[in-house]
Structure 1
């Protein structure tokens, strides 16, 4: 009986999504979309065994809204419009992923529009960062934590970039702070945008920090650094060897610096991009780390393949970093 009801529910949900897609192309059919949502919701509420699936139905509606936004983007482009563009670049060969687009729900849009006002101290004063700096197709969301800022992608289910302000005083406070190792899905993100712990289980990849736990100077910051919104799927050997050494080297430099050192860290997705888990979390082809010494007004970077056999070589200049990645986080230097 339950199997039959769930099957009928899936069919009804599919009908609702199909109506949403049609409405994106033919506005006159908006009443069909409204009827499909209303009728399906009413039917579900009348089924006792399915009433416990209210949360599932909410997620289905959220996904349907995302699909509608994508259909509308396609329709605009077919009429000669264009999507927003920015410094981020989508993979040249995209992985299999739902046809979703930028924030469409009020909650996601509000989160993206809030910017980094609550963690502005993590960013250089001359180099603001915003969700508008990347294309809408990345589904960007701005997230503030105690010790770092994250420009997050609901498309890749990973950070686009994390930014943190390091100093001698902060790293002295961070020394000896117990590592919690308590990973968790970020509750600030809607279901359609976030990675879950199950996505990484048995994937063969580490949950690789972008803003390192060892950089955090408070217990709150330490705990927040283990949110999956701060993680990418990272080769285990890469994570525990060459990347760990690079993080330690950056901390050593920041301890010797006379002022603030801002560190930008994130993934690149080049070529065929695999995914892991039910939520299709994108696996980076490369990881980058950009270091900006505010007092010296100088920046340098590393871009490393997400592979076990990588060696840590000399850093590249900021101009080379911009040319290599297309990401100009420090326009006043370029």
Structure 2
């Protein structure tokens, strides 16, 4: 087993999907067909540009029989002469986390972070949440960007995938957790502000048990069985016009590693666990263990490869080596509200 310093977490390869079209019509190989170049994104065409020419048709009549069609071999460079349509995986690297952004859903496909006692230490200067503001990610093209106005009066919180409390190493690191490429719509009361927040706290508490804690947060869209017996995936889309999809569930997949013994610090003991929570109000007393699922179930639902088979087979379940409990403390809300309403003390 490799040491915790070199535990490799194989994170997510996203393959590009290629599309191919077939030119319509039947023509002779010897006949060159001229077509006009497509308009540019601005709607104008560059003056003086020569028209594009196909040197031969993609489909021609077959000599084998009247009316039969024969496909002419082509190449990707020919089919994709106007560009590869995607999908494009936006890999985002921040001070405290890494994320993959989903341009279709307009929220992260996944986020990954590495927590240690040192990264969460109360050392100055630390990030101050009150100094951070939500903002759009200018690195994402406008048509695929989540917008601040999408969340306005949507009924959903702007839910951090990597919580601000995990990025207190600097103000810049904390500010980066407020960029919308780290945000997804979450139910507020009973979830984002309560059960989910204390699940995030549980992840931080694991650093007292493990030397290294890797946390993956993954929005999911899971099917539900309807009264007719069929399974369907239905979800809301917020914004006007509709722009940002609302996940049905969120997964936390957590890997903890520590030296197997004081005498063999180079050998790591690895623990692994996956939890899938509905994007809905969860009763405070619900045990975290209720949401345990196989890691493979999350990988299959998300289309991601989070860990190697070797790590999954050799690791213990994290609830065997750490206490899997979430305690929701509602009085924290009252304290925060009191701090907001109390006047500043007189000097």
Common fold by TM > 0.5: yes
4+ residue segments displaced more than 3 Å = 23-31, 36-40, 173-177, 309-312, 315-328
Question: In structure 2, what is the equivalent of residue 276 of structure 1?
Answer: 238
Structure 2 unpaired stretches of 5+:
1-19, 25-31, 47-70, 72-81, 223-232, 259-268, 313-347
Q: Provide, for residues 201-254 of structure 1, a one-character-per-residue CA deviation record: whole Å limited to 9, x for no partner.
A: 011000100011000021111010000000001001210010001001111112
Match of 1:167 in 2: 116
Compared with structure 1, are the counterparts of its residues 308 and 194 closer, same or farther at alpha carbon in structure 2 (3 Å cutoff)? same
- The alpha-carbon deviation at position 313 of structure 1 amounts to 2.4
Q: Following the alignment from structure 1 to structure 2, what is the Cα–Cα distance between the partners of residues 222 and 297?
A: 29
Rounded to whole Å, the distance in 2 between the matches of 1:162 and 1:253 is: 18
The SS at the match of 1:168 is coil
**Structure 1 Cα separation of the partners of residues 134 and 42 of structure 2:** 40
After TM superposition, the score normalised by the length of structure 1 is 0.59
Shift of 1:279: 5.4
In the alignment, is the contact (CA less than 8 A) between 2:220 and 2:250 conserved in 1? yes
1:196 is aligned, of 129, 147, 156, to 147
Match of 1:308 in 2: 281
Q: Quick check: which has more Rg, 1 or 2?
A: 2
Query: Counterparts of 1:211-250 in structure 2 under 5 Å?
Result: 211-216=162-167, 217-237=169-189, 238-250=191-203
> Take 1:312 and 1:42, find their aligned partners in 2: how far apart are those partners?
62
CA contact (8 A) 1:246 1:312 kept: no
Report the count of equivalent residues: 223
Distance 1:294 1:168 in 2: 13
User: 1:312 deviation in Å?
Assistant: 4.4
Unaligned runs of 5+ in 1: 1-22, 44-78, 80-103, 110-135
2:128 corresponds in structure 1 to 178
State whether structure 2 residue 310 is matched by structure 1 residue 329: no
- The equivalent of 1:251 in structure 2 is 204
Query: What is residue 29 of structure 2 aligned with on the other side?
Result: none
Higher helix fraction: Structure 1 or Structure 2?
1
Judge conservation of contact 1:273–1:285 (CA < 8 Å) in 2.
yes
Cα gap change, 1:293/1:142 in structure 2, threshold over 3 Å: closer, same or farther?
Answer: same
- Once the two structures are TM-superposed, the CA of residue 333 in structure 1 deviates from its matched residue by 1.9
Q: Tell me the CA shift for residue 24 of structure 1.
A: 5.7
Question: Counterparts in 2 of 1:64-213, with a 5 A limit?
Answer: 137=87, 139-173=88-122, 177-179=127-129, 180-213=131-164
Q: What TM-score do you get using the length of structure 2 for normalisation?
A: 0.57
Evaluate the alpha carbon distance shift between residue 209 and residue 30 of structure 1 in structure 2; reply closer, same or farther with a 3 A threshold. farther
